[in-house]
Structure 1
Amino acid sequence: MSKMLNRPIRVLVAKVGLDGHDRGAKVIATSLRDAGMEVIYTGLRQTPEMVVNTALQEDVDAIGISILSGAHMTVFPKIVEVMKQKQLSDVLLTGGGIIPENDMKKLKEIGVGELFAPGTTMATIVDYIKNWVAENRNF
């Protein structure tokens, strides 16, 4: 494992599309901040382009998408596509919500990181982000 950054890990937490359920995203954002990360929360009704542009502007290490609307097979591939267009290849795309296991597998195959189901402990999510950043963002 590489050494950690000389600054707090920066994570963008976003809700994409018309999914108006943001309680989980706010809980995640607060928990990541409590774990020492710098968190940018975009709020509701973001587009994939808005998310990636904010990630670029804020120089984040990870993007976390909270999705409960069932649109994960549209949202994640579009974000991956926009990240590729913007050459944002060194940023973790992760997330969670109501995502069937088969869909999680398909999304991982196109480059999405771990996806977390309801009930996942915050320690698991924090450790995953910290470990990914230590291995991939040590500059």
Structure 2
Amino acid sequence: MSADAERGHQQRTIRCLIAKVGLDGHDRGAHVISRAFRDAGFEVVYSGLHRSPDEIVQAAVQEDVDVLGLSILSGAHNTLVPKVIEGLEEYGAFEDTLILVGGIIPDEDRPKLKELGVAAVFGPGTSMKETIEFVRENAPRRD
């Protein structure tokens, strides 16, 4: 492979879905992270508000995303995140998707989310730089 082709291969755009799951209507953080990801060169799809776990799974599969960022402020993360993960597993998309959760997640709930397959939980005050670097370092590499 030529040097230019190799650089192009390494520079593949990371595709992200930022999703608001459940009845949570607070979407400012989802908009902020979507804009930061776009500014970082990621391709971003935003789900809009009040999406069911199945709608998010369908969007993730149809858009063939590398990263799924779930924004949850409602407190329903222990119910909704497992449903999204189960749906991704049913479609065979779980292994190829970096799953992130952002929002108000109590410290005691974070280990269970990580056991389920969430790569990271980002709470209020997390720097955009930290989140972007995490995605760049951990997004699945696909051809």
**TM-score of the superposed pair, with normalisation by structure 1:** 0.92
Decide whether the 8 Å contact of 1:95 with 1:116 is kept in 2. yes
The two structures, once aligned, show a CA RMSD in angstroms of 1.3
Q: Please, which runs of 5 or more residues in structure 2 have no aligned partner?
A: 1-6
How many residues get paired? 135
Runs of 4 or more consecutive aligned structure 1 residues displaced over 6 Å after TM superposition: none
Q: Aligned partners of 1:80, 1:27: CA distance in 2, in Å?
A: 24
Decide whether the 8 Å contact of 1:13 with 1:41 is kept in 2. yes
**Larger RCO (CA within 8 A; separation ≥ 6):** 1
Partner of 2:36: 31
Partner of 2:22: 17
1:34 Cα deviation from its structure 2 partner? 0.4
**Rg (Cα) greater in structure:** 2
**TM-score of the superposed pair, with normalisation by structure 2:** 0.90
3-state DSSP of counterpart to 1:65: strand
**Mapping of 1:1-139 within 5 angstroms?**
5-88=10-93, 89-133=95-139, 136-139=140-143
Q: Please, which runs of 5 or more residues in structure 1 have no aligned partner?
A: none
1:138 Cα deviation from its structure 2 partner? 3.6
Q: Aligned partners of 1:137, 1:7: CA distance in 2, in Å?
A: 9
